[in-house]
Amino acid sequence: MASEITLWIGSVMMGRRIAFTAAEKVALETFDIAEPAEDQILVETVYTTISPGTERANLLAEPNTQTHKAGFPFYPGYCNVGRIVAVGSSVKSYRNGQLVATSRPHASHYLLPATVGPNLPPAKYRAELAPTVVTGTPIHSGHQIWPLPTGIDRATIKACATFALWSVGLGGIRKARLEIGESVLVIGLGPIGLTAARFAELAGAYPIIGLDPSEPQRAHAAAHGVDAIFADAADAANAGVFEQPPRVVIEATGRPDAIPIAFRLCGPGGRVILLGSTRGVTEEVDFYSDVHRKGLSVIGAHQLVRPQHESSPGFWTEWHDNELILRLIAGGRLRGTSLVTHEFPVSRAPDAYRVVCERAALAVQLDWER
């Protein structure tokens, strides 16, 4: 089905994309859609999923964001499922009508070099495919293409459109190098914290404890493998869950003031995984008492530090992790839509971001075919 937002003006094919034009300002822009070069594919979007952390932070120009550093406009998004509608003359690995997942922004159409597997694109395309979330970083695998299984239904297509959120959680759990039976504390039960909790469960962690002041977010946690759920550390301590401190703490809020809490709650010799992108400077950390004397390991788990080419234990490429996640979703092992609390037609994108900014949602999906 052709996207309803595709416009034709004369002989030029026009598409739409989401742009942050200023702080708290969301617009739908039109742009010319070019034909694919001989080594490219043209993809028409079916669903995209809004990242409520990264995209909200850039829309509000919070500290440690690209918009805070470089201003607007900014073109958000990195969680896209679409259908190939044209292929270049030399492309052999893809076909018209094929469904693919990509890490491209929120747009009705986009061109990609027809790379296969965890391979870098040709050099001539690397500048335009570099990450937009943080400039000045090397090219990474986020632009690449993940074919979806044939014959999947629309519900599975929607579920697959959450793959990039799961990828963040999985990357953090891989870096934690969990062993069966280790206890895990997840601070922040938004989509990133929930995906980390689910993968911790799959890795054999027990118990998994979750902290979040938001009652709606706590309500989702039990379905994602969290064994004990509390509003804050004081409630958890009163319940006795810290009598044996957790071996691993996942900080998934991105709040600077949550990091000292993660250090204090982690057990001796444990690991603190900084999974949320911290928006601001953390002050008044007692490194001697809370880190050094306890022998903690503090591990940054940003997506852009993944290896580009080869996976190794605890350190998989983004391509290999996303390929696994999509197979798990299609096979029913991950409930991708469990993260989605709201869905909007793309014509209502400003409303979708309003819900995100009000923190009234987990993940929000945009339907580009209505």
Mean pLDDT of the chain: 91
Query: What confidence score (pLDDT) does residue 1 get?
Result: 29
Lowest mean pLDDT among 59-68, 165-174, 228-237, 305-314: 305-314
Confidence of residue 233 (pLDDT cuts 50, 70, 90): very high
Residue (of 262, 257, 269, 255) closest to 185 by Cα position: 262
Q: How many CB atoms lie within 10 A of CB 18?
A: 25
Burial class (CB in 10 A: 0-12, 13-18, 19+), 165: buried
Q: Which residues contact 292 (CB under 8 A, 6 or more apart)?
A: none
CATH fold of 7-161+308-367: Quinone Oxidoreductase; Chain A, domain 1 (3.90.180)
Q: Phi and psi (nearest 5°) for 165?
A: -70, -45
Tens digits of residue pLDDT in 308-330:
778 899 889 889 999 999 999 99
Of 5 and 216, the one with more pLDDT: 216
Confidence of residue 132 (pLDDT cuts 50, 70, 90): low
Of 54 and 99, the one with more pLDDT: 99
264-288: burial string, b at 16+ Cβ within 10 Å, e else: bbbbeebbbbbbbbbbeeeeeeeee
The answer to whether residue 138 scores a pLDDT higher than 80 is no
Q: Which is it for the CA torsion 305, 311, 316, 321, positive or negative?
A: positive
The answer to whether residue 4 scores a pLDDT higher than 50 is no
Query: What confidence score (pLDDT) does residue 290 get?
Result: 93
Domain boundaries, the chain: 7-161+308-367, 166-301
CATH fold of 166-301: Rossmann fold (3.40.50)
* Dihedral (Cα; 20, 133, 300, 275), 10-degree rounding: 40
The answer to whether residue 331 scores a pLDDT higher than 90 is yes
pTM of the model: 0.90
